[in-house]
């Protein structure tokens, strides 16, 4: 991975983009909305450069390796998460122990799981006609 030093003009141009959370001389932090939108467009079979064009990034970003590397990293993170709607992108670590649950807690858990799976089915039907 090549270390890039951004000029002051490039930094100011990136700060104007609504999908950029923070910019330093060597690093760009993207917003959660940017990551989710990029993954959504990628699932619709958009090419990674086209995704960053639609997100209004400048030409020097689009022509770099940032779009491909970032999108691959975000997809890998998303595979290891429970849901994209949580506030943090964290790996699955919690294992459900049904032996210590009451019947009511187990019932609530199963209802939530069914609702989540139904939501996934609706999203799948929307993305792939």
Q: Cα angle vertex 90, ends 84, 95, to 5°?
A: 100
Task: For residues 89 and 78, give the distance between their C-alpha atoms in angstroms, rounded to a whole number.
Answer: 7
| Domain chopping of the chain, boundaries | 1-87, 95-129
Task: For residues 114 and 6, give the distance between their C-alpha atoms in angstroms, rounded to a whole number.
Answer: 47
Q: pLDDT band for position 89 (50/70/90)? A: low
Q: What is the pLDDT of residues 2-34, one digit of tens each?
A: 678 999 999 999 999 999 999 999 989 999 899
Task: For residues 54 and 5, give the distance between their C-alpha atoms in angstroms, rounded to a whole number.
Answer: 24
């Amino acid at each position: 991975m090549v270390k890039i030093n951004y000029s002051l003009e490039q930094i100011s141009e990136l700060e104007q983009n609504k999908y950029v959370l923070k910019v330093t001389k060597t690093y760009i932090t993207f917003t959660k909305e940017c990551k989710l939108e990029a993954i959504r467009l990628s699932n619709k079979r958009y090419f990674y450069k086209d995704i960053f064009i639609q997100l209004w990034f400048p030409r020097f970003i689009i022509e770099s390796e940032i779009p491909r590397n970032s999108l691959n990293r975000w997809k890998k993170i998303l595979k290891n998460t429970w849901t994209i709607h949580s506030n943090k992108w964290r790996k699955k670590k919690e294992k459900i122990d049904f032996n210590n649950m009451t019947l009511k807690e187990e019932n609530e858990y199963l209802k939530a799981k069914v609702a989540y799976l139904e939501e996934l089915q609706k999203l799948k039907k929307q993305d792939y006609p």
